[in-house]
Amino acid sequence: MNIFDIIGPVMVGPSSSHTAGAVKIGQIGRKLLGERVKKADIYLHGSFLATGKGHGTDKALVAGLLGMAVDDKRIPASFEIAGQEGLEFSFHSIVLQDAHPNSVKMLLWGESGKETEMVAASIGGGRIRVCEIDGLKANFYGDLPTLVVRNQDKPGHVVKVTSLLGEKGINIATMQLYRDIRGGHAVMVIELDQEIPEGFLDWLKEQEGIEKVTYLSQEEKDYV
């Protein structure tokens, strides 16, 4: 937190958690997909479901998926803009187990056919947390470059990834490991102090036992 969390952000109202936070969740979904979103199935939980309409949470999520910032004056018109830009979306209700009251699950499809599933929560003051990616637990705030690697739960993957990050001079801020069952799918969530260089993701994807690589860059891309 800094003083521009006290005076600021400049945002489209009415709620930092239900509107600005929702825009950020949409943006992160788009960045995780890494390309323009073609289709989004959006499931609202708890307070997002109960008061989301009055807070424009639905419009805010779609605005974020379109790449708008939290102060974009077009947020209230995001549904129409989605129509123009060929983003097809639908809203549903859901009860997520043990989830924060302001949670949403999104199934996203990109223009090249990429798919991502995520659960995220808006935790207050416009801050958000990604709680789940592709059905596996995650726990990050989306304000640092973040690498999410899904692999088979076998020895050697963590050292392979982290040593290459070290070689490239990239510092790891935080790192978490999760798996579903022993020998099943595992995921490492690595928050970084620097952006990863070009080519790194392609190299990683080709490694044996790596199932999926997702990267959240903090650099703005418009995927046009």
Task: Enumerate binding residues for other proteins (CB under 8 A).
Answer: 1-17, 19-20, 47, 50-51, 53-56, 59, 71, 73, 75-76, 124-126
d(CA 129, CA 139): 7
Minimum CB–partner distance for residue 63 and other proteins (Å): 10
Cβ closest to other proteins, residue 13 vs residue 86: 13
Residue type, 74: R
Number of Cβ within a 10 Å radius of residue 73: 8
Minimum CB–partner distance for residue 160 and other proteins (Å): 33
Cβ closest to other proteins, residue 8 vs residue 86: 8
Q: CA dist 186 to 112, 134, 173, Å?
A: 25, 11, 20
120 close to 130: Cβ distance less than 8 angstroms? yes
- SS3 at position 30: helix
Minimum CB–partner distance for residue 57 and other proteins (Å): 11
Rg (CA), the chain: 17
Cβ closest to other proteins, residue 31 vs residue 127: 127
Minimum CB–partner distance for residue 56 and other proteins (Å): 5
Token pair for 66:
């379109």
Cβ closest to other proteins, residue 102 vs residue 116: 102
